[in-house]
Amino acid sequence: MKLNLSNQDFCIYLITQFPFAADEEKETMLSDYMMAHFKMPSKEWLEELSGQTDENGGELDPWNGYTYVHEVNDKVTLFAEFHAYNTVYFFNDIYLGNSGGHVHLSLLTWTELKEIIENDRTELSPLFLLLLPLVIGNDSERTGIEAKISAVLQQTALDLNETQLGEITKMLSSHLIFGDSRKNIFTPKENIGLTTSRNHSERNEQHSDEELKQINEIISLASGV
């Protein structure tokens, strides 16, 4: 499959992988907004990407969807498994999170994401939009976050008008930056690395030191720190 920003179906799919993205004033989820304003990918295309489902909508066993593979650097490779109802992310063989069901995201700092994509030279690369659901941002970073999101959206095949660009950018930013500022903070733990109070995260502060150390180490390798 040709999975880059020139593929309109894939761009729409990527933008629907943000379960916290919404316009609170209009009480609209980003996934609903996309369905209302764009032609969604066909069932046939989705089955080729994320695997076939049975008559009840359940995923077939064994899963027969597509795995996107992207070499971040010589030490870390991203594997993104596209399933019927969510995307599952790995750095090498280490689980990072998933976008559906029992959501597990809220993993990377905005700075870490920028470091990870810094050396990406792939033409029309989807790497930024693939990893963006995993990011926690804060208000001090909002201007930079929205500027980067807007710039990447303009590279996609969606041909957004000015209103659509602004609305989607705002909703994607809301996925990263929660209204409760306490949820946007990473806390360093001595000899372990960064932790967060967000429950749906592999960096959750309640996880074991061993688990936290492992996830922090692979993120450091990916970001080149």
The alpha carbon torsion through 34, 167, 148, 97 (nearest 10 deg) reads -50
In 3-state terms, what secondary structure has residue 188?
strand
Q: Is 70 left (phi over 0), alpha (psi -120 to 50) or beta?
A: beta
pLDDT band, residue 225 (cuts 50/70/90): confident
What is the rounded CA–CA span in Å between residue 176 and residue 105?
A: 10
Bigger pLDDT: 219 vs 225? 219
Is residue 176 packed enough to be buried (19+ CB in 10 Å), middle (13-18) or exposed (0-12)?
buried
Q: Which residues 6+ apart lie within 8 Å of 35 measured at CB? A: none
Secondary structure of the chain: what % helix, strand, coil (to 5)?
Answer: 40, 20, 40
What is the rounded CA–CA span in Å between residue 123 and residue 14?
A: 17
Task: List pLDDT tens digits, range 158-200.
Answer: 999 999 999 999 999 999 999 999 999 999 999 999 999 999 9
Beta strand spans in 14-56 (E): 22-23, 28-29
**Number of neighbouring beta carbons within 10 Å of residue 98:** 21
Amino acid at 186: F
pLDDT confidence of residue 57: 84
Whether 56 shows a pLDDT value over 90: the answer reads no
